[in-house]
Each structure stands twice: as structure tokens, then as C-alpha cells.
A and B are shown apart, each in its own frame.
Chain A
Amino acid sequence: MSEIEYHAVAKTNEIMEEDVKGVFVGDEEIAVYNVEGEYFATHGVCTHENVGLADGFVEGDLIECPLHSACFEIKTGKAVNPPAEIDLKTYPVKVEGDTIYVGIEK
């Protein structure tokens, strides 16, 4: 398994509960979420077409794509309704102090 490197991407107070923020780590577009006070991260682009999920809508533990309303499970990346059929990649997240870190494979 390749090594994971953690990158600071946001402060905890920047992402309210049931909210999402788009960040970049290098060229990788990532969406970071707050679900009931816990933080998660998925690839930031819908698997249906190339639309940023940071403009999407978080409801419970689902993110709804702003373009055609496909929904993904934030924790697993699973595509739960059409038109998306491909799951989203997810990333490990850790919080230290008030900083959110996202783990990317080196």
C-alpha cells in the first residue's frame, strides 16, 4: 500500500454542520464535509459530469450534485441515485486542534 500524506485543508469553523467546502490539494479537487460534527472528504467532482460538488447540497449524510441531482453517501462515496453510477473516491480525514487534514496517497 502506498503511503498517505496528510494536508491541512481548512479550519473546523469554516465548515458548518451539514455543509461542504471545496479545497485543492495540488491538482486534486476535494470536497470536505461536516456531518453531525464529524468531518469527511470525497473527490470534489461529480462522477456523472465534471461539476464541483462544493456547490452541492448536503442533507444528512448525503451530498446532492448541483447539476443533475445525483446523490452520494458522504462517508462511503457510494452513488445512491441516478444519473451518477460511479462511486466517488473518499479520503481519510483527521482533525488536530482546529485544523482539518485530508490524507492523499503519495
Chain B
Amino acid sequence: MSDDRTFVIIGASQAGGWVAQTLRNEGFEGKVILIGEEPYLPYERPPLSKAALLGEVTVDSTYFWQADALKEADIEVRLNTRVTAIDRDAKEIETDGGERITYDKLAITTGARVRKLPIEGADLPGVFYLRTMEDTLAIREAVKDGTTAMIVGGGWIGLECAATLTKLGCKSIVVEAADRLCGRAVTPEISDWMLNFHTGHDVDVRLSTGIEKFEGDGKLERAVLPGGDSIDCSIAVVGIGVIPNVELAQDAGLDIDNGIVVDERACTSDPVIVAAGDVTNHPNDLLGRRIRLESYENAQNQGITAGKAMLGTAEPYSEIPWFWSDQFDANLQMIGLPQDWDETATRGDVAANEFVTFYLKDGVIDGAISVNNPRDLRVGKRLMQGKKPVSAAELEDPETKMQALLKR
């Protein structure tokens, strides 16, 4: 039986790609059009600050699906195409080329864009952001051994970038406005660990510091700090957060609140429109609140949910948030978004960069962060999921077999 419906997806990255694949995996036989502004097939962003910036992987190897696989799945991919408007009454979208495409169902997976640094000189050549493959290729091009790199923002992107540029032979300086690293995401103890770790790898970290302006004659030459001190540098990478791309949805009258508001099945306030990935504000049953995540796993799994929702077969999506980051030889992983824990338990050896810290609330795990210990973190995730009672003392005890805690 043929299906004459057309499902359109705006944003051809991780979430959008998974929506498209899911439609086919679930047997949808209508037309699937995946529209993206970037010149590349959907690719993984995590390598952009890691292996791709190091030059260890090719652009092709970051694609989620190679061109022939997308073709075989009969997914019509339109790259270099920006959607400029959604007309919900006519069920049409309009592209920057002036084309109008009618949809039966629509998915919005427009992700997020970088927040710009609002200072003088931020538009000088040599000042970069890091969100797209083009950004990574441009930074690689600009990096020479011995380059001094000014990294603005001590969050995940800034710290990964500092680590990778250091590995490439740069002198990395990180300036962070807050008094600790990664303050929005991790606890003060982990911030302290990060500071020691990066300092120990020759990264120059300056907390409670901002950049007043960038200066240079036609290109970046120095960063001026408040008070007038200046630091010579030939590149800068700004990582001060992202803004969800909600404008299309907003102009079309969908509910917005720090992201496109969706329900647990990725449905927006319009019954024929779903949304997934970095752009959504969604309910999380396990945490008991609404969240907007910027994570690989969420883009994938909420994308899969959104694809199923377009076919009416979605189960509610609610998972413990999970995130990872690679910095030098440390693999950090985090579960949950711990807020007001009453106890912490650290297992392993912090000084040896191999440990996991659990955050406990009312005797159950509310979140955890691990450094070079993904396995204990995964057991912790199951303990958290099952709301299993555990004590800080037993988690800290090296004699405790983590897996045994699951079996009780």
C-alpha cells in the first residue's frame, strides 16, 4: 500500500536525522524530506572539539549515516537550505530559495546556536566559535604549533577545546567569568578537580575573569582584560553557551519557554508538529520537572520518540539525563542533574583521576559524575532509575561490589 503523505523535518542534524531514520525503521512509506542549512549530511558534533579538531578523523567519518544509506532509506536530504517560515494554516514551509513545501506532519529539530560575545573586537578574524564542522575546520586551519589560544568560557566546550588545542601544541589560556569551572553543570568539588587537572596539563586557567575587548590590526592580536592588562594571542575560541533556535516555531505561534514546549511524546502545541533535541523544553518524569538538554543522547532518543510520535506509536520519553566529555586523558560522564542533594559519596581515587562522585537525596542516588570510571557510573544509573536505597558509606567502600547493590 502506498502512502501519499509527506513528512518534513527542519534541521538536518542528530535529532532530525533520527526522526527521519525512525520513520523508515517503523515502516512509514510516504515521503520524508530532511532540510538543513548546513552543507553536510547529519554529523556528530562531539568530535568537533575532540578528534575532529585534532585532525584524527575525516569529515565523512562523523556522518551518522553515509549518503548511500540515506538514499537507500529513501530520505530526501536537502542541504544548504534554510527554512524561513512555517505556515500552519496552509501546512506549508517556505525555504530561503522561495520554495514552498506542503507537509502532512512536521518535525522541528533546529537545535541551538552559539551565544555571541558582545564585546569590541569580537568580529576580528581569529575569533572563533565552536558549534559546526565549518568552525572546527576553520580553527584547525588557524592553529599553528606554539599559537597562544585564548579560550573564553570554562564550560564543557571551552575545557575540551583547551585540552585539544594544548595537545596540538598551543598555549591555552582559559578565562572564566565565574569563580569556578563548569559551574552550571557540576558541583564545586568537581570544579576544583577540573581546575587542578587542567592546570596540571599546562592550561592557564583564570577564574573570575572576563575579556574587555579584542584588539588587532585586521586580525586578532591581543585580548585586553578589565583593568587594562593585555595578553597576546592569535586565536580565540568563545564557548559561552548556546541559544535554542526557536524563532521559526515562535513566529508560527507554537508555545515557547526556553525552547519549544513539547510533551513527553515530543508533541508541540500543534497536533501535527513534533520537536526534538537541543531545541525542546520537555518534561522529565524521573526528575519531576521540565528541562532543556544539550546532549547527544537526548538528541538521539527524543528524535526517535518524535519520529514514532509522527506515526502515533510513541511511548513517553523520560530518561535520566546522561552526558560525557573528553578532556586530555580523562573521560567524564554525568548522570542526572543533581540539584539539592543532602550527601555525597566519592568512590575511587580523586588524585589518580579515577573516581565517581554520587549525589544522594533521601538515601537514593540523585546524580553522579565519574572520571575514568564509566562502569560504576552505569551501575549508579540503574540504582538511580530503580530508586534503590543506598548509603554513602557503602558506595565509598572499595570492598562494595557495585553490581551487588543492584541485586538487593
Interface residues of A (CB under 8 A from B): 18-19, 55-57, 59, 64, 66-69, 82-83
Known A-B contacts A55-B374, A55-B375, A56-B375; A69 and B382 likewise in contact (beta carbons under 8 Å) = no
User: Across the interface, do B300 and A57 meet the contact criterion of CB distance under 8 Å?
Assistant: no
User: Across the interface, do B296 and A57 meet the contact criterion of CB distance under 8 Å?
Assistant: no
Residue of B nearest to A56 (CB): B375
Out of A66, A68, A82, which one reaches B375, CB within 8 Å?
A66
Query: B225 to nearest A CB, angstroms?
Result: 38
Out of B18, B297, B379, which one reaches A69, CB within 8 Å?
B297
CA distance A59 to B346 in the complex (A): 23
Chain B residues with CB under 8 A of A67: 324, 331, 374
Chain B residues with CB under 8 A of A59: 382
Known A-B contacts A18-B403, A83-B64; A69 and B322 likewise in contact (beta carbons under 8 Å) = yes
Chain A residues with CB under 8 A of B375: 55-57, 66
Chain A residues with CB under 8 A of B324: 67-68
Indicate with 1 or 0, residue by residue over B346-376, a CB within 8 angstroms of chain A CB atoms.
0000000000000000000000000000110
Residue of A nearest to B18 (CB): A82
For the residues of A in contact with B, the DSSP-based class is loop
User: Across the interface, do A68 and B379 meet the contact criterion of CB distance under 8 Å?
Assistant: no
For the residues of B in contact with A, the DSSP-based class is helix
The number of chain B residues with a CB under 8 A from chain A is: 15
Query: B286 to nearest A CB, angstroms?
Result: 16
Query: B256 to nearest A CB, angstroms?
Result: 29
Chain B residues with CB under 8 A of A19: 403
Given contacts A18-B403, A56-B374, 6 further A-B contacts (CB under 8 A): A55-B374, A56-B375, A57-B374, A57-B375, A64-B378, A82-B300
Query: B26 to nearest A CB, angstroms?
Result: 14
CA distance A66 to B375 in the complex (A): 7
Known A-B contacts A18-B403, A83-B64; A68 and B378 likewise in contact (beta carbons under 8 Å) = no
Interface residues of B (CB under 8 A from A): 18, 64, 296-297, 300, 304, 322, 324, 331, 374-375, 378-379, 382, 403
CA distance A67 to B297 in the complex (A): 11
Query: A97 to nearest B CB, angstroms?
Result: 26
Query: A4 to nearest B CB, angstroms?
Result: 31
Query: A55 to nearest B CB, angstroms?
Result: 6
User: Across the interface, do B378 and A66 meet the contact criterion of CB distance under 8 Å?
Assistant: yes
User: Across the interface, do B297 and A68 meet the contact criterion of CB distance under 8 Å?
Assistant: yes
CA distance A68 to B108 in the complex (A): 24
CA distance A68 to B89 in the complex (A): 40
CA distance A53 to B64 in the complex (A): 21
Query: A15 to nearest B CB, angstroms?
Result: 13
Known A-B contacts A18-B403, A67-B324; A83 and B300 likewise in contact (beta carbons under 8 Å) = yes
User: Across the interface, do A66 and B374 meet the contact criterion of CB distance under 8 Å?
Assistant: yes
Query: A22 to nearest B CB, angstroms?
Result: 12
Among all A-B residue pairs, the 8 with the closest Cβ atoms: A66-B374, A57-B378, A57-B375, A55-B374, A18-B403, A82-B300, A55-B375, A64-B378
CA distance A19 to B379 in the complex (A): 12
Out of A18, A56, A66, A68, which one reaches B296, CB within 8 Å?
A68
Query: A100 to nearest B CB, angstroms?
Result: 20
Can you name 22 A-B residue pairings with CB atoms under 8 Å? Answer: A18-B403, A55-B374, A56-B378, A57-B375, A57-B379, A59-B382, A66-B374, A66-B375, A66-B378, A67-B324, A67-B331, A67-B374, A68-B296, A68-B297, A68-B324, A69-B297, A69-B322, A69-B378, A82-B18, A82-B300, A83-B64, A83-B300
Query: B22 to nearest A CB, angstroms?
Result: 10
CA distance A55 to B18 in the complex (A): 27
CA distance A69 to B403 in the complex (A): 17
CA distance A67 to B64 in the complex (A): 16
CA distance A52 to B382 in the complex (A): 21
Chain B residues with CB under 8 A of A64: 378
Residue of B nearest to A68 (CB): B296
Chain A residues with CB under 8 A of B296: 68
Name which of B296, B304, B375 has the most chain A CB atoms within 10 A of its CB: B375
Query: B346 to nearest A CB, angstroms?
Result: 19
Query: A86 to nearest B CB, angstroms?
Result: 12
Chain A residues with CB under 8 A of B18: 82
Residue of A nearest to B322 (CB): A69
Chain B residues with CB under 8 A of A69: 297, 322, 378
